[in-house]
Amino acid sequence: MAAINKASIVYRLAAVILLLLVASAVLAPVIAPYDPNRVMPDETLQPCSIRHWLGTDSLGRDVLSRLLYGAQVSIGFAVLAALCTTLLGVSLGIIGGYFGGVTDLLLQLLVNIFQGLPGMSLMIAIAGSLGPGSASLLLAVTLTSWAGFSRIVRGEVLKIKEESYIEGIRSLGGSDAYILRRYILPNLFNSLIILFTIRVGTVVLSVASLSFLGLGMQPPQADWGVMIQDAKVYFRSYPQLLIAPGLCILALCGSIQLVGDALRDRFSIRQSTQKQDW
């Protein structure tokens, strides 16, 4: 029993951290002390002070403000990208799984093709070919991750379809649309929440990497990956320039994963072969 409580404390802490981060992202324009792109040439590379809680970077921009706006950029984009991936993956997964037949075979082929593409390679290539920026990032992320989603969704749909009560409803005259709406989608909901949450975390890391390489969010847009790239030269003397954005990514991804775990514990049905009956 004690172990369960320990774990749930951790999960609650993670949820709180996540909420704080999301709140900072949403409220950034309100709570940030400075404009993140405001260059203050007289105050470059300041250590932590009362004026600048986390100091300033090489261009004299306030680090705290950039972190807050960076949260907006990172979380906002990640949620958007995860939504696109989910929409695409779910619709194709449902169509393939529910309707079956030739459509399903074709879609499965498509999934196999897209899963055969090495993700990061393709993202780099797409971002590189189209030119950096959020639009090409969005395209890159969605194209490389929808297939995995679709596969899982299709599997779930197949499982639900097999349930005998679906047959019963159909024989009572239920239309496809009705079945989809009332039975398939609600049953998918739990798995989807989990998948969506995990995907947000993955996107944050991928985008940070791409931004670090200069292929993602472009300076002067405040993004944590970009901030780390900027800090590469100065951190030996001004460690907070490197530590702060890194810890933010750690906090965001870590809490997302823990929350995802907690959701999985709550919602998923384990299928283990029954051990013993009493």
Contact between 22 and another protein by CB under 8 A: the answer reads no
Task: Provide, rounded to whole angstroms, the least separation between the CB of residue 32 and another protein.
Answer: 23
Is the distance from CB of 138 to CB of 84 less than 8 angstroms? Answer: yes
Indicate which single residue of 43, 45, 213, 219 sits in contact with another protein (rule: CB under 8 A).
Answer: 213
Closest CA to 202 of 141, 153, 262: 141
Q: Which two tokens stand for residue 113?
A: 């093709």
Please identify, using beta-carbon distances, which residue of 91 and 268 lies nearer to another protein.
268
Q: Is 257 in the site for another protein (CB under 8 A)?
A: yes
Under the binding rule (CB under 8 A), the answer on residue 13 touching another protein is no
Give the residue carrying structure tokens 């879609």: 107
Nearest-angstrom CA–CA distance, 119 and 98 = 27
Residues 6+ apart with CB under 8 A from 98: 157, 161, 176, 180, 184
Whichever of 30 and 269 has its CB closer to another protein, that residue is 269
**184 vs 197 by CB, closer to another protein:** 197
Helix and strand counts by DSSP (H, E) for the chain: 10, 0
Residue 235 interacts with another protein (CB under 8 A)?
yes
Residue of 44, 67, 215 lying closest to 141 (CA atoms): 215
Q: How far apart are CA 269 and CA 273, in angstroms?
A: 12
Number of Cβ within a 10 Å radius of residue 65: 23
What Rg, from alpha-carbon coordinates, does the chain have?
23
Judging by beta carbons within 10 Å of its beta carbon (0-12, 13-18, 19+), is residue 145 exposed, middle or buried? buried
Judged by CB under 8 A, the stretch of 24-32, 93-101, 153-161, 211-219 that binds another protein is: 211-219
Going by C-alpha positions, the residue among 239, 206, 236 that lies closest to residue 224 is: 206
Compute the least distance from the CB of residue 256 to another protein, in Å. Answer: 8
Q: Which of residues 144-173 bind another protein (CB under 8 A)?
A: none
DSSP, res 270: P
Determine if 205 is a binding residue for another protein (CB under 8 A): yes
Regarding 18 and contact with another protein (CB under 8 A), the answer is no
**249 part of the interface to another protein, by CB under 8 A:** yes
Q: Within 98-137, which residues bind another protein (CB under 8 A)?
A: 109-110, 112-114, 116-131
42 binds another protein (CB under 8 A): no
Find the part of the chain contacting another protein (CB under 8 A) among 21-29, 154-162, 164-172, 232-240: 232-240
Candidate residues 134, 187, 190, 209; the one interacting with another protein per rule CB under 8 A: 209
Interface residues toward another protein, by CB under 8 A: 3, 6-7, 109-110, 112-114, 116-131, 201, 205, 208-209, 212-213, 215, 225, 228, 232, 235-236, 242, 245-246, 249-250, 252-254, 257-258, 270, 272-278
